[in-house]
Amino acid sequence: MTVNLLGLDEQTLAAFIAEIGEKPFRAKQLMRWVHRFGESRFSDMSDLAKTLREKLVQSAVVAAPRVISDGVSEDGTRKWLLDMGRGNAVETVFIPEAGRGTLCISTQAGCTLACEFCSTGKQGFNRNLDAAEIVGQLWMANRALGATHTHEQGERGERGADDLALACGERQRNSERGARANRAVSNVVLMGMGEPLLNFDNVLPALRLMLDDNAYGLSRRRVTVSTSGIVPLIDRLREACPVALAVSLHAPNDALRDRLMPINRKYPLRELMGACVRYLDRAPRDFITFEYVMLSGVNDGEQQARELIALLADVPSKVNLIPFNPFPGTEFQRSPREVIRRFSDSLNAAGIVTTTRKTRGDDIDAACGQLAGQVQDRTRRVIRMEAA
């Protein structure tokens, strides 16, 4: 059985290298080739010994999900539909901005949480993505955006003791600096299809690869996990890999949040706010981002603004207001621009930093809440909800 190297973090890749009888330093060399340089052909990994390359051909692959479709919005947002097998597909979105490029990654085929205002939740749920499928979205995007850098080719063929010196030498360092500088993706948000924390065991190695200097070298401030509020797993992420945290809030009281987000019935707001405060002890930022979709006549009134201010009084916060992005069959409408402005002004006046997200990619259904993909088996939602 072949191993997909895209899903192996430093520890598991080192174990794999040991299993095939190679020296430990080969793991870092291989990681650089796969992730920094986006190389999938072992024959082109020129500073690896010929014997190692032959072993890799027999025992490993570098295989990202297959692209089914690739669309570009008028504003430059790009969305890929990716084949995850057995009739399932997920969506990955790249958002270019001045000075940075953000990739929105999916972590599940579908979603178990059934939030009322989210197209993904209406698609049902099939399965968790594995680590290779999660990281494969980043690997694929860097290649598709033309941002990978070809490693300077050295003498091919088997080498002896100078392999490590070459791997750490000036020639490779220069190439690596070029690869890093040319990366199109500077920020990653796990905000695509699915609830990342309900796929924790696969998300964790994926995060570690994103942060690893031998792989993508992103800072913890530039990698964000979005959650609907799975309290025990927020605590677990805090201990294991505290990246930036965004909480999908969308309501300032339990009654309304119970209606919009059924997970609130298990982890109500008081417990969620407690987990957020605990997370800040190790977070790379000194605030938690709270996402709040603006639903006309539902959660956008003056009373809701006052309740939200009170809810966040003891939690260092940044609030991101999201104009609702409609999808077929929804009962909700986007709050009028003036209503969103008044809501934002109320929060800012209370000392809560508040921004309104610019809608991007809605003409290709790539905006927040619109990702749907394709989910073949929709029967497992209840099972996963009970396990949360």
Q: How confident is the model at residue 162 (pLDDT cuts 50, 70, 90)?
A: very low
- The CATH number assigned to the domain holding 13 equals 1.10.150.530
pLDDT number for residue 180: 43
Q: Do 112 and 259 belong to one domain?
A: yes
Q: How do strand 78-85 and strand 66-72 relate by DSSP bridges?
A: antiparallel
Cα–Cα dist 221/243, whole Å: 6
Distances (CA, A) of 239 to 7, 235, 236, 279: 21, 7, 5, 9
Q: Do 288 and 228 belong to one domain?
A: yes
Q: Do 77 and 141 belong to one domain?
A: yes
Q: Do 55 and 185 belong to one domain?
A: no
Catalytic option among 111, 241, 276, 368: 368
Backbone angles phi, psi at 339, to 5 degrees: -65, -45
Q: Which of 48, 63, 78 is the last residue of a domain?
A: 63
Q: Do 52 and 134 belong to one domain?
A: no
| Angle between helix 231-240 and helix 269-279 axes, rounded to 10 deg | 10
Strand partners, 188: 103, 223
Cα–Cα dist 312/290, whole Å: 10
Q: Which amino acid is at 5?
A: L
111 in active site:
no
pLDDT number for residue 87: 84
pLDDT digits (tens, 9 = 90+) for 38-87: 999 999 999 999 999 999 999 999 999 999 999 898 888 999 999 998 88
Q: Residue written as tokens 């991007």? A: 360
Q: Which of 19, 38, 63 is the last residue of a domain?
A: 63
pLDDT number for residue 233: 98
241 in active site:
no
Cα–Cα dist 284/243, whole Å: 6
Answer whether residue 153 is part of any domain: no
With vertex at residue 16, the alpha carbon angle to CA 13 and CA 22, rounded to the nearest 5 degrees, is 105
Answer whether residue 317 is part of any domain: yes
Task: Over range 86-103, report the average pLDDT.
Answer: 91
Q: Select from 342, 338, 333, 249 the least CA-distant residue to 298.
A: 333
Helix (H, G, I), strand (E, B) or coil at 333: coil
Q: Which amino acid is at 4?
A: N
Catalytic option among 91, 133, 176, 195: 91
pLDDT above 90 (res 121): no
More confident residue, 136 or 175: 136
Range of the domain at 381: 66-146+181-387
Structural domains counted in the chain = 2
- Are 354 and 347 in contact by the 8 Å Cβ rule? The answer is yes
Q: Do 108 and 51 belong to one domain?
A: no
pLDDT number for residue 113: 87
pLDDT digits (tens, 9 = 90+) for 309-368: 999 999 999 999 999 988 888 889 999 999 999 999 999 999 999 999 876 545 545 444
Residue 227, Ramachandran bin (φ over 0: left; ψ between -120 and 50: alpha; else beta): beta
180 CB burial (10 A radius; 0-12, 13-18, 19+): middle
pLDDT digits (tens, 9 = 90+) for 251-310: 999 999 999 999 999 999 999 999 999 999 999 999 999 999 999 999 999 999 999 999
Q: Do 141 and 10 belong to one domain?
A: no
With vertex at residue 293, the alpha carbon angle to CA 289 and CA 295, rounded to the nearest 5 degrees, is 155
The H or E element containing residue 209 is: helix 200-211
The H or E element containing residue 293 is: strand 288-294
pLDDT number for residue 375: 46
pLDDT digits (tens, 9 = 90+) for 371-382: 444 444 444 443
Global pTM reads 0.85
Answer whether residue 340 is part of any domain: yes
Q: Select from 224, 231, 321 the least CA-distant residue to 273.
A: 231
Cα–Cα dist 142/34, whole Å: 12
pLDDT digits (tens, 9 = 90+) for 26-37: 999 999 999 999
Query: 328-366 burial string, b = 16+ CB within 10 Å, else e?
Result: eebebebbeeebbeebbebbeeeebebebbebbbbebbb
Q: Do 195 and 76 belong to one domain?
A: yes
pLDDT digits (tens, 9 = 90+) for 193-218: 999 999 999 999 999 999 999 999 99
Q: Do 19 and 103 belong to one domain?
A: no
Q: How many CB atoms lie within 10 A of CB 165?
A: 11
Q: What share of the chain is helix, strand, coil (3-state, %, to 5)?
A: 40, 20, 40
